[in-house]
Chain A
Amino acid sequence: MSRYYTEDHEWIEVEGEAATVGITDYAQEQLGDIVFVELPDEGAELEKSKDAAVVESVKAASDVYAPISGTVIEVNSALEDEPALVNSSPEEDGWFFKLTVADESELEGLMDEAAYKSFVDGL
């Protein structure tokens, strides 16, 4: 099991042939109070770096991109009733969706936890 991070502040945790995606603690902190999360449909084909979800905070709407390409196999329906989970538990209970790993080589360009931490420290 390994967790990767993108420069757009998504995390992706890979477990075998599936992966879970969410936004990082830094991202939720920047967005502020989240009031709605628009998730992709199950079965949707996502393409790396393209729109996957939308986070609506009190302040603004922000796009969330797919860290890798794949097919959505599950979405976090708990976010429908409690979008604030993304604020309170961004990297665990506030996950967004799970998808298949279409091309493992797409993971290669992503950061590990240490690299992401120094990336955020430099912002």
Chain B
Amino acid sequence: MMSEDETPEDIQTLPLDGWHRAQGARMVPFAGYEMPIQYEGIVAEHEWTRNHAGLFDVSHMGQLLLSGPDLDAAVEAVLPIDLSTLKLGRQRYSLLLDENGGVLDDLMVSRWPEHLYLVVNGATKWDDIGHLREHLPDDITLNHLEDRALLALQGPEAVDALARHTKGEQSLSDLTFMTFGQFTIAGHDVTIARAGYTGEDGFEISVAADAVEEVAALLCGEPEVKPIGLGARDSLRLEAGLPLYGHDLSPDTSPIEAGLVFGINKRRRSPVDQGGGGYPGAERINREIVEGTSRKWVGLALDGRLPAREGAEIFAGDTQVGTVTSGGFSPTLGHPIAIGYVDAAHAEIDTALEVQVRNKRLPARVAKMPFVQHRYFRGS
């Protein structure tokens, strides 16, 4: 009843590989690496993260450091970001776009004292590096931090568990959503950002690859923390309405269709003669911001228990009006949820639609996203 996953020959291992296996993880190939899909079970891990704190190994992601003369101007020629408003200690979501405004990747950009630090998706990092190298001036240095691992600690109790181990000039609890700082954990230098991919409060911890096992073990020694696999990472981000590159975003989608207009910073949206534009795909994207798009990325809530998954066709009556790009069962809500692109005429909240799963048409309703409320810490 099951087909075994094909194992490509060039599959690589991450620094925590042995540790995951010792924790009872089931490992699968993902983004070119052996990664843990689950430990005790996806639903249990999902619920643990929503209620306590989950530790995710996201070391497959690319950590890049950029430096050089006129760095901001050089990076603004490649990304639709306004770096003049990105202050030291802050990070921001941005998009790597092709000349047509299609999405090559989504990423985080952080302002370090002398550098910009980027975190890009694991499956796309080699292409991203090639793209950046090609489009950035030669005097901009791009350093791929392959000797760094990346952990995410997510959930309402993450701050308590992590604060027991961090030392730094500032207190961990001073960090607010989308800010970062330098700390030490057990004497190891770490960069900690208050951010994540679950909709919960939480942190992302960049640490030397040769120290990551010690840090992971310390954190999982806390009563609030359990290791969490990729399966729950996907169901958590789906409930949080966050797109997954390669599924919800691709070169065939524009960020405006995907509702990511915030990824095009305000100054960059102006017409070129008013100082806007100047990034790949600006013409199409700035036009879409004004005129709207013919399709939109929407959330769908389904009745019953049968999930609609990526590729499922969305119907209004007998007419196909869209396609599901991500879908699954929501452990928090107890029913299936999905995300997909539909014709703009059918994108209003509460629009009744149907989704085809095998030989069944399942009733679905356009739902507000996020499906489960974000609980980011924006300051008290």
B181 within 8 A of A: no
Q: B42 and A23: CB pair below 8 A?
A: no
Q: A36 and B305: CB pair below 8 A?
A: yes
A35-B307, A56-B329 as given contacts; A62 in contact with B37, CB under 8 Å: no
Which of A30, A35, A54, A56 is in CB contact (< 8 Å) with B2?
A30
**Which residues in chain A, 1-36, are within 8 Å of chain B measured between CB atoms?**
8-10, 23, 27, 30-33, 35-36
User: Within the complex, what minimum Cβ distance (angstroms) separates A110 from chain B?
Assistant: 14
Q: B1 and A8: CB pair below 8 A?
A: yes
Total A-B residue contacts, Cβ distance less than 8 Å: 57
B 277-313 to A, binary, CB cutoff 8 A, 1 in contact else 0: 0000000000000000000000000001111010000
Q: Which residues of A contact B306 (CB under 8 A)?
A: 36, 38, 56
A8 CA / B307 CA spacing, docked (Å): 23
B41 within 8 A of A: yes
Q: A56 and B1: CB pair below 8 A?
A: no
User: Within the complex, what minimum Cβ distance (angstroms) separates A38 from chain B?
Assistant: 7
A 27-53 to B, binary, CB cutoff 8 A, 1 in contact else 0: 100111101101000000000000000
Q: B307 and A56: CB pair below 8 A?
A: yes
Residue of B nearest to A33 (CB): B43
**Which residues in chain B, 28-46, are within 8 Å of chain A measured between CB atoms?**
37-38, 41-44, 46
A32-B231, A56-B306, A83-B305 as given contacts; A62 in contact with B1, CB under 8 Å: yes
B 354-370 to A, binary, CB cutoff 8 A, 1 in contact else 0: 00001000000000000
Q: Which of B1, B38, B307, B329 has the most CB of A within 10 A?
A: B1
B155 within 8 A of A: no
Q: Which residues of B contact A64 (CB under 8 A)?
A: 1
Q: Which residues of B contact A62 (CB under 8 A)?
A: 1-2
User: Within the complex, what minimum Cβ distance (angstroms) separates A51 from chain B?
Assistant: 10
A 48-75 to B, binary, CB cutoff 8 A, 1 in contact else 0: 0000001111111111110000000000
User: Within the complex, what minimum Cβ distance (angstroms) separates B109 from chain A?
Assistant: 32
A10 CA / B47 CA spacing, docked (Å): 30
Q: B37 and A59: CB pair below 8 A?
A: yes
Q: Which residues of B contact A9 (CB under 8 A)?
A: 1-2
17 contacts between A and B (CB under 8 A): A8-B1, A9-B2, A10-B1, A30-B2, A32-B41, A32-B42, A32-B231, A33-B41, A35-B336, A38-B358, A58-B46, A58-B328, A58-B329, A61-B307, A61-B309, A62-B1, A62-B2
B: residues with CB less than 8 A from A are 1-2, 37-38, 41-44, 46, 231, 235, 304-307, 309, 328-329, 331, 336, 358
A: residues with CB less than 8 A from B are 8-10, 23, 27, 30-33, 35-36, 38, 54-65, 83
A55-B1, A56-B306 known, 19 other contacts, Cβ within 8 Å: A8-B2, A9-B2, A31-B2, A33-B41, A33-B44, A35-B307, A35-B329, A36-B305, A36-B307, A38-B358, A58-B42, A58-B43, A58-B235, A59-B37, A59-B42, A60-B309, A61-B307, A64-B1, A83-B305
